Structure 1
Amino acid sequence: MTLLPITVPASLLDTHHLDPDAADWGLRVDHAVATTAGDTYVLTGLRRYRGYDDDTADPAERDFGYQLITRYGSDGKPTATAVFGQAVPGGGPSAIPEAEGTTLALLPDGAVAVSSKPGSTHLLSPELDAVLASWPMPWGWERQRPGEDPFAASIAVTPAGRLLCATSEYGLSNWAGAHLNIVAVSEPGAALGPGRKPALRAIATLDARTDGQSDADWYAHVRYGEEPVVRGNRPSPSLTEALSELTGTSGSLYGYLDSRMTRPAALGDDLFVVPVFGKTYRSSNRGQEFSFALVDDRGALHGRLGGLHLRDDSPFTGFDFTVVADPYRARAFHLNRYGLYAWSADGALRARMSTAEKPFKPLVHFALLECTPAGELLLAHRKQHLLLRVPVPQDLDDLATAVEDALKGYGRERTALKKQYGPVNWLWADSAATVNAL
């Protein structure tokens, strides 16, 4: 199957009396990952909001916000769905709270890692029927709380089984709360599981302005040298400093001061892409600085993914900063409102499909989620809630043809799925998958 419906359990819709024709619900698609055998896990968020004046006494009629992970077999059929984020009416409390910036990773032992900002990680069984372990870090603006035991805000797994992680820090500059600031890796074979939390070696710091950090602002598992990362014990220079020097923007109002980063992607076992984007303003940010930095596992900056124009290829339009990578074939991909881009591991731009060109205009409706071990791009339609798999050819010069063919076949496969599921308002209800409230 090259097209999957992003389904919601029919039983959950019935429990909440959700009307697909109403305007009070929304479904977002956050991430997706795939196994080498072809199974796919899709992370979504389902919410209903009726306003502050909704005071119904019936729990089934109240506002709700769930996160869901659905597993699909290689035949495209959903087999299991985990529901978490809040208690299902009549059930017990959820073991996993709803969180921002949640992503998935498939660990070498088959467990599903669910990570979210600022640093929570939960492990689920491959069948999505049990929470195997949790390292929570509650969301909040205040300093970390006693007893917190976080792991990472995001995880990517390299072919050798190394964990490429982003972790958060408190006490940065004059910011409140915790912010993504450290890129770190585990050593090969260092397993994450119940009772096992591997050490992470910091290889890059985004912002080194840590004068506001206290003795409590460190975690034992995130280390630089022999000590935990805190204050001045961290990789230097920071990415902010290195990218400012690389781009000649030091001291510029529109440079990398107060920049942010998103989830790092693995180009291999020892080379990674770190998306960094400059400070955002209330007015238009198109043309603002951004870089997809290439960093090795010793922390050296090897330039950035090239060939992008600050304005004509700006990810600030739509705030699409996701970069995905294929570590088995050493290539990286990015999709924003202006085009789909592909690079080789040396940072050379190998393909660009402009959304201004007729064959690729439909790409503006899709979000790029991930690259599978088989070398397929996973694209989610933002409104129609369908997951499109695009096989990437060995020669990236042929990628445009593959993308065009996938987009041409999208409508035909969508029609077949509509006959099978009968969606209403692009809500694909499923009754076959096992539903587990976690």
Structure 2
Amino acid sequence: MTYAIPVPLPSALVDHHAVDLERNYSDGWGVRVDDVATAPSGEMYVLHGVYRAHRVDDNGADAAKTVNFGYSLLTRYAPDGAVLATAVSGQSEYMRQDTTLGGPTTGLGEELWWAKGLCVLPDGTLAVTAPNDQTHLVTADLTAVTAHYGASRRRHEDGPSDPFATWISTTPGGRLLCTTGEYGVYNYGSLIGNIVSLTDQPFAPSAKPSLRALASMEAEPVKHTEADLRPGVLFHGRPVGMDHRPRPSLTEHLTALELTATQYDWHDARLGRPAVVREDLFVVPVFGHIYRGGSRGQRFAFVLVSDEGEFVGQLGGMHLHRDSPFTGFCFEVAADPERERIYHLNRYGLFAWTATGIRAQRLDLEDKRYKLLKHFTLKDCTPAGELILVHRTQHLMLRIPCPAVLGDLSQVMEDALRSYAKERTALKKQWQPVNWHWVNGAAPLHRL
């Protein structure tokens, strides 16, 4: 099995913009990895991006090395980790019309640039999602965008509004677990994720399914009107909005459960990406307000919700301060429906739970055997039962098999990290990366 897999930049993009890979990110450019998704066939997809912003002290430099740009990239991998193709979408109108990297785009660049989520739908189509319930459908071979859905960023902005979801995950039975936004949450004028919902019909470019609301994070968004109703998001057969939504809300449940908590502790909370534990059970991250001066010790919870909207409980065994996900903003959870396991990684530990919410493992990242994990973000659990982690600075993926018995997690992790270190050394000799930037010129490059 391959443990270490690079996330590369297309050589055509690097050459066209004369990207100096040795420059520090503080000089106004950067590369990010947003999400990873795996198809049942074993093929993997990575959503990542690269940008560069003009700096005042760049005046007089070569224009090719200073022009602004921003691209979202989709890279497709074979099951063995080989790069099969990359698709690129430009952020600005200028980049959308530039034909150097494979022809003009369809005009989705700015929306796709903000994309954060990636999901492989049951028919193999990719769903790329972004805030404001932006959803793009992309063919599995990365050659075309087949549909686009989105809403206005502000409550009273003019323009077309046909949103779908901000996050999407698939269940083993092919249903879609989603989050959608509402205007007026905490009196904000922009869309904020507030509803966890489920589809009972397939998603196709010509047939967007309706969403059945399971849970709401905040119970009473402010000043809702008929104009704020979402005809595609239903609760008991009627559109969610105003005073019609699942109650009690998740924050109301959490306040009632925790004797030392008050409703204020959950004011300005946020909804993370839900994960599928099994066909009828999901885990939903909810985390409190983020403060500029630091939020370690703030309240957070990983809530278990059934496919009928029942509040089942929450994941236990985490300390608000000692295990805080606010350090580094590590709120991701991944689940293995085959074994009904749940995983979470933050700067303090790797955690594993059973489907009942009982913590089965905590690997302390201060232990030198697991300390390398501090540099990774948990992104996915594949249909084959493999955890996918992404190194935050070295642009490498770490693929780890989930143990059949959670008691074996520590040994599996030790073995994976040793193999990863050896494979990383071999990859450096093969790819010759510059400052941990991997460049690929062999795979086909498509333009979205």
d(CA) in 2 for partners of 1:101 and 1:38? 23
Where does residue 145 of structure 2 map in the other structure? 131
Helix, strand or coil: the match of 2:23?
Answer: coil
Q: 1:263 to 1:143 in 2, by over 3 A?
A: farther
d(CA) in 1 for partners of 2:163 and 2:307? 22
d(CA) in 2 for partners of 1:60 and 1:154? 35
d(CA) in 2 for partners of 1:384 and 1:57? 27
- 1:115-154 aligned at under 5 Å gives the runs 115-138=129-152, 140-143=153-156, 145-154=158-167
TM normalised by structure 2 equals 0.93
* 8 Å Cα contact 2:18-2:64 kept in structure 1: no
**Which of 38, 42, 56 is residue 38 of structure 1 equivalent to?**
42
**Which of 152, 176, 200 is residue 189 of structure 2 equivalent to?**
176
Instruction: Select between 59-68 and 298-307 the one with higher mean Cα deviation.
Output: 59-68
**Which of 240, 257, 266 is residue 246 of structure 1 equivalent to?**
257
Q: Once the 2 structures are TM-superposed, how far is the Cα of residue 368 of structure 1 from its aligned partner?
A: 0.5
d(CA) in 2 for partners of 1:100 and 1:92? 19
d(CA) in 2 for partners of 1:74 and 1:43? 17
Structure 2 unaligned runs (5+)?
none
Q: 1:252 to 1:112 in 2, by over 3 A?
A: closer
d(CA) in 2 for partners of 1:63 and 1:117? 23
The letter of the residue matching 2:104 is G
d(CA) in 2 for partners of 1:51 and 1:220? 45
Q: 1:144 to 1:22 in 2, by over 3 A?
A: same
The letter of the residue matching 1:386 is L
For residues 269-318 of structure 1, what are the alpha-carbon distances to aligned partners after superposition, in whole Å with 9 as ceiling and x for unaligned? Answer: 11111100111222221111100000111111111011101111000111
Where does residue 65 of structure 1 map in the other structure? 70
Q: Once the 2 structures are TM-superposed, how far is the Cα of residue 437 of structure 1 from its aligned partner?
A: 1.1
d(CA) in 1 for partners of 2:158 and 2:323? 41
Equivalenced residue count is 434
For residues 337-373 of structure 1, what are the alpha-carbon distances to aligned partners after superposition, in whole Å with 9 as ceiling and x for unaligned? Answer: 0010111100011111110111011110011100001
Where does residue 332 of structure 2 map in the other structure? 322
Where does residue 106 of structure 1 map in the other structure? 120
**Which of 48, 55, 60 is residue 52 of structure 2 equivalent to?**
48
d(CA) in 2 for partners of 1:58 and 1:220? 49
- 1:195-210 aligned at under 5 Å gives the runs 195-210=206-221
Where does residue 74 of structure 1 map in the other structure? 79
The letter of the residue matching 1:231 is M
d(CA) in 1 for partners of 2:116 and 2:442? 26
* 8 Å Cα contact 2:281-2:304 kept in structure 1: yes
Q: Once the 2 structures are TM-superposed, how far is the Cα of residue 383 of structure 1 from its aligned partner?
A: 1.0
- 1:30-429 aligned at under 5 Å gives the runs 30-51=34-55, 58=63, 61-86=66-91, 87=95, 89-90=98-99, 91-93=103-105, 94-96=107-109, 97-100=111-114, 102-138=116-152, 140-143=153-156, 145-187=158-200, 190-251=201-262, 253=264, 255-429=265-439
The letter of the residue matching 1:369 is K
Q: 1:193 to 1:85 in 2, by over 3 A?
A: farther
Helix, strand or coil: the match of 2:407?
Answer: helix
For residues 73-129 of structure 1, what are the alpha-carbon distances to aligned partners after superposition, in whole Å with 9 as ceiling and x for unaligned? Answer: 122111111111422533434424244451111111100110111201111111001
d(CA) in 1 for partners of 2:340 and 2:203? 25
d(CA) in 1 for partners of 2:321 and 2:117? 28
Structure number with the higher helix fraction is 2
For residues 161-198 of structure 1, what are the alpha-carbon distances to aligned partners after superposition, in whole Å with 9 as ceiling and x for unaligned? Answer: 010000001122322211000000011xx111121010
Helix, strand or coil: the match of 1:358?
Answer: coil
Q: 1:154 to 1:389 in 2, by over 3 A?
A: same
Q: 1:160 to 1:145 in 2, by over 3 A?
A: farther
The 4+ residue runs of structure 1 with deviation greater than 6 A are: none
Structure 1 unaligned runs (5+)?
none
d(CA) in 1 for partners of 2:128 and 2:384? 22
TM normalised by structure 1 equals 0.95
* 8 Å Cα contact 1:143-1:170 kept in structure 2: no
Confirm or deny that 1:17 pairs with 2:46.
no
d(CA) in 1 for partners of 2:23 and 2:277? 43
d(CA) in 1 for partners of 2:32 and 2:322? 27
d(CA) in 2 for partners of 1:309 and 1:101? 32
d(CA) in 2 for partners of 1:315 and 1:195? 39
The letter of the residue matching 1:115 is T
RMSD: 1.7
Between the aligned residues of both structures, percent identity stands at 45
Instruction: Select between 420-429 and 31-40 the one with higher mean Cα deviation.
Output: 31-40
